[in-house]
Amino acid sequence: MVNILFIGDIVGAYGRAIVKQLLADAKKEYKVDLTIANGENCAHGYSITEKIYVELLAMGVDAITMGNHTWEKKEVVTKISLFDKLARPANYPPGTPGNDHLILQSQGTNVGIINLLGRVFMQCMDCPFQAVEKLLLKVKEQAKIIVVDMHAEATSEKNAMGYFLDGKVSAVVGTHTHVMTADDRILPGGTAYISDIGMVGARDSIIGMNREQILKRFITQMPEKFSPAEEGPGLFNAVLLKLDPSTGRAIDIKRIVKVTEPIKLPKE
């Protein structure tokens, strides 16, 4: 059995501090073989940087997936090809830089990792269903265990992807909304599924961002810059996937919710 810990969207410096505080113990507690994290919000809420990429790997994250904020740090455009443990959404148009999937090894077993971006209420993208169907022809030649991160807004689209890939991949996990859902289950064909893993960030926030800024936007409908919340209890959302390396099917999926004491961030 291969135990994979998949961490929800890491939001800003506070989210990274929570991962740093909890990850090593969580990996021991759950006997984790491989750790994947969504990192598209980890650079002050938007995208990632080379420094943060290295920082997450040093914390014990083995692979990073992205989403709709992938390109919001300019350095990502030129450096993403150097990030060999990072997968950007596979349904960007042909010729987009970066890895459209990853193949990593755990316990002597190859693990394929695919990142997809939804289209409902999101930017215009190539069809994620057609993209993953085509990509699976390649990935299945290299890995029996395959984990898909469906980064999307609509739970219906994520749910549809879960059933579309049921029996074809080991797990379909949703990211992006930052709110953990309670629909974790094994689908009829043996694929583990959850609509959204949640996030890692300040618990007393609105999806990891400062409450006051988002409330002002909702109430006034005026433009307001959002920035990550950086105080109060920390929230760590993840799922533990137990996967059979001989069949590629899921044995179990378990939601993980941990809350930390407030963390004092170092001044930069």
Catalytic residues: 69
Query: Is 3 in contact with 75 (CB distance < 8 Å)?
Result: no
Dihedral pair phi/psi, residue 207, rounded to 5°: 45, 40
Residue 71: closest CA among 59, 86, 57? 86
* Length of the chain measured in residues: 268
> Which of 56, 3, 2, 10 lies closest to 236 in space, CA to CA?
10
